[in-house]
Structure 1
Amino acid sequence: MGETSSTPGGCSGRLAQAWDAIAADTTTIVDDLSRLVSLDTSFPPGDGYTAFADLAEAMLAPLGFRFRRVSVPEAHWRAPDGSARGERVNLIAARRSGRPACSLYYHVDTVPSGDGWSMSPFALTRHGDRLYGRGTADMKGTIAATLAALRAIDRFGLELAFDPLLLLCTDEEGGLYPGIRYLAEQGLIEGHLLSFNGGAAPRIWAGCFGSIDMLVRIHGRGAHSGDPVGGINAAEETIPLLNALMRLKAEVETRTSALPPPPHWQGRPLHARLTIAAMHGGHKGSSLPARFEVLVNRRYAPEEPFDAVMAELDATIAQAMAGSRALEVETHLVGHLAPVSDPTGPHWPRWQAAVGQGFGYPPSAFRAWGSSTSSDMGFVQQAGIREILLGGLSRPGSNTHAPDEFTTIADLVALARAVLLYLSRDFGAAGSPERRIATDQGVGQ
């Protein structure tokens, strides 16, 4: 679905004017996204968060927001492999009028740019309706869309149903201690939570898998490859481990979840996953590598206990390396996101109505589905916040986490319109969209 041009049903007056104004604001939306993408906030290492907080404050201050910076203590996030560095600055931007709060969540980190790009990952590139750059879909584009909604709200003097509390957080991309986890555990999330770590789809979020990043470091002894007296080739000593991990992968990926699968899975069940995500070691043909590293990613279903998943990984590594000549085998948990289970609640019908109007989805299009991707919202649930609304810009073909990631101007406008409707008081009164969706889908029955 693309941008809808007609005014949403039941909306009139200033709300309808604000709706139309968003489509005329695309030059500013693109400029905002360009500024956001140009700051490299890749995690690892995550050393761009302070600069990003500076930029976000500069962009939000004209809209009347006040700011609080909350840094995660280093003892929480410091990874044993040294892959994380720099202050973990989380920015809370609040605009208060005494109304109930809605916390809008954004992770400001991206995955590293990686190889294979046909253009610069940190310079926004436009081709027609598409906007390319790291973070455009996941999820800096959602910040630009929210800014457009807030500008339209202010321009037309709309009254709000909720006071917006923007949470711009660190280390979602597999960190040991994501910023939103720290905010939740410190009691700094107010009202209900709307996360933009999702997709541009008529989706009722049913939950998602957890994710574990395990680093295995094999120590050998360097030597000349032509005369390796006393040498131990760490790369070759890793081969039994790689074989064992591939056997475990075959077993793990037979395990299915009861979470309903996304439409593009065409009815196939979601299943656990194991991925050998990275391997590093050696530097020259004339030398035996003295150290070799393997990064393993394990996606585990809500039905799988974390302790059991970790125990299985530990046992596989220990058994594979039991007869090795390696001098030492280190294992480090360098990233973890907990799974999310049933995040629905009383605010979902209103958000579904706003998304449906913004993107042009009819109520009948909405379906509940989960995902084998992961989110830091699992830690938010563990802190006692069960209901988590979900929206965003990612689509199956938008190259999220891949080279040439992109979003579209049409989706940015559509998401901005959804945020506009959700926050606006008049949307709830105009045709009672939340009651219509609740009736159509049996919510609350």
Structure 2
Amino acid sequence: MIDVVSLTERLIACPSVTPADAGALAVIAEALAGIGFTVHRFTDGGPPDGPVENLFATRTGAAPGPHFAFAGHSDVVPAGSGWQSDPFTPVRRGDLLYGRGAVDMKGAVAAFIAAAARVPNHAGTLSLIITGDEEGPATHGTLALMEWMAANGQHPDMILVGEPTSDRRLGDTIKIGRRGSVNMWIEVPGTQGHVAYPHLADNPATRLLRILDRVTKVRLDEGNRWFQPSNLEVTDIAVGNPATNVIPAEARARLNIRFNDEQTGAALVERVRAVVAEEAPRATLTAKISGEAFLTEPGLLSTLVGAAVERVTGVTPALSTSGGTSDARFLSRLCPVVEFGLLNATMHKLDEAVALADLHALTDIYERVVRTALER
């Protein structure tokens, strides 16, 4: 048996800020090997976004059955300053365990490993897909793992991602999809000049303001049954002009669109590009699509997880697509994917903490999920 709290503490003690591993995957590998998993580790990428440590572990039962996988990450965001105690020294205070990664998501990784230890005999295949590159650029993590899985004949039928999805109490929310995300950078060149002689200049700030005014006034869609309306937000505007009497030579802006499954990243980029071309023909637009929207229609997987949550907690979870992005946006290409994990109230915050009772309850939930998915 594996104690979920102790394993969470060992993981928190590894300062695995993306893309550093700091020993986290070694802790996971040791625990998994001890309960019968075959562990594969590999490194992908290089500076500045890597190298990234990744892990795939699998255990096959004696009887045929589906392939059920748990996906998660061992990396964490920077701790920041102002913690009550060292963020990478796990501390129990009262009923809470404090430390960076306690809920996002070392606690969930530990809970699934502890759950797997309770189910030594199962049908089919049980796997863990663990990356050290979820909180960062996500270029050498889950995508590299997916390539490795395809090359090695690993094809899950269902994937549960352990992101902290619960809002007010453990079990109240399961994610069955996520919105897509695209960032765009607009650079508008102009002609520098004296503000008293505007006819001899071309003010790029004026053109940029017209662009932003047009794109922010557009209602992209009305949303649908599972998704809220897509929204565009301006996240940065820069001119860099120290003088009060000079028309600037360049103006720049950045914007982000979070979009539902009625849109695609490429189509949204072209929509904004058309406005830019009309208002500022010399301007350039650069875009990066972080992920497309996806939806796992309610069905076998969400029902299975929901039933386990309700049995352990007495809570009937809501099915949601709210929040930011996760690596589920990549894994959804393989098979049905849902996300379920701890409370998200303190993730990425100072004094991140998880309730000890929630760690035990989450282990119970994951155990029931595994037993039901791979029952012999």
Which residue of the partner structure matches residue 403 of structure 1? 350
Equivalent in 173, 184, 200 of residue 135 of structure 2: 173
Distance 1:250 1:195, change over 3 A: same
Matched, 1:88 2:88: no
Which residue of the partner structure matches residue 60 of structure 1? 32
Equivalent in 296, 307, 310 of residue 356 of structure 1: 310
Q: TM-score, normalised by structure 2?
A: 0.74
Summarize deviations over 1:402-436 as a string: whole Å, max 9, x none: 3333321121111100111122369969xxxxxxx
5 Å-filtered alignment, 1:45-444, equals 46-49=18-21, 51-72=23-44, 74=45, 84-99=48-63, 100=65, 101-114=67-80, 117-153=83-119, 159-173=121-135, 175=137, 177=139, 179-185=141-147, 186-187=149-150, 188-200=154-166, 201-214=171-184, 247=213, 250-251=216-217, 255-260=221-226, 269-274=228-233, 276=235, 296-314=255-273, 331=286, 333=288, 336-361=290-315, 365-382=316-333, 384-385=334-335, 387-395=336-344, 398-424=345-371
Summarize deviations over 1:77-107 as a string: whole Å, max 9, x none: x7xxx7x432232201122233433111112
Report the residue type matching 1:64 in the other structure: G
Report the residue type matching 2:72 in the other structure: Y
| Superposed displacement of residue 115, structure 1 | 5.8
Give the secondary structure class of the aligned counterpart of 1:404.
Answer: coil
| Superposed displacement of residue 184, structure 1 | 3.4
How many residues are aligned here?
A: 347
| CA contact 2:49–2:137 (8 Å) conserved in 1 | no
Give the secondary structure class of the aligned counterpart of 1:95.
Answer: strand
Distance 1:122 1:151, change over 3 A: same
Report the residue type matching 1:377 in the other structure: A
| CA contact 1:117–1:403 (8 Å) conserved in 2 | yes
Which residue of the partner structure matches residue 10 of structure 1? none
| CA contact 1:344–1:388 (8 Å) conserved in 2 | no
Q: Matches of 2:291 and 2:100 in 1, distance apart?
A: 21
| CA contact 1:161–1:423 (8 Å) conserved in 2 | no
Give the secondary structure class of the aligned counterpart of 1:69.
Answer: strand
Q: Matches of 2:162 and 2:108 in 1, distance apart?
A: 7
Q: Matches of 2:70 and 2:182 in 1, distance apart?
A: 26
Report the residue type matching 1:403 in the other structure: L
| CA contact 2:182–2:291 (8 Å) conserved in 1 | yes
Summarize deviations over 1:54-78 as a string: whole Å, max 9, x none: 2321232222222112444x4xxx7
Q: Matches of 1:405 and 1:294 in 2, distance apart?
A: 33
| CA contact 1:67–1:94 (8 Å) conserved in 2 | yes
Q: TM-score, normalised by structure 1?
A: 0.64
Give the secondary structure class of the aligned counterpart of 2:338.
Answer: strand
Q: Matches of 2:28 and 2:236 in 1, distance apart?
A: 32
Distance 1:278 1:119, change over 3 A: farther
Q: Matches of 1:246 and 1:403 in 2, distance apart?
A: 34
Distance 1:272 1:406, change over 3 A: farther
Q: Matches of 2:101 and 2:339 in 1, distance apart?
A: 17
Q: Matches of 1:241 and 1:98 in 2, distance apart?
A: 67
Distance 1:352 1:69, change over 3 A: same
| Superposed displacement of residue 179, structure 1 | 2.8
Identical-pair percentage? 24
| CA contact 1:299–1:372 (8 Å) conserved in 2 | no
Give the secondary structure class of the aligned counterpart of 1:85.
Answer: coil
| CA contact 1:252–1:272 (8 Å) conserved in 2 | no
Q: Matches of 1:277 and 1:359 in 2, distance apart?
A: 43
Q: Give structure 1 stretches of 5+ with no counterpart.
A: 1-20, 220-236, 262-268, 283-290, 430-445
| Superposed displacement of residue 336, structure 1 | 0.8
Distance 1:206 1:145, change over 3 A: closer
| CA contact 1:240–1:320 (8 Å) conserved in 2 | no
Q: Matches of 1:249 and 1:404 in 2, distance apart?
A: 39
Equivalent in 10, 16, 19 of residue 41 of structure 1: 16
Report the residue type matching 1:388 in the other structure: V
Q: Matches of 2:83 and 2:72 in 1, distance apart?
A: 25
Q: Matches of 2:84 and 2:211 in 1, distance apart?
A: 33
Q: Matches of 2:20 and 2:252 in 1, distance apart?
A: 26
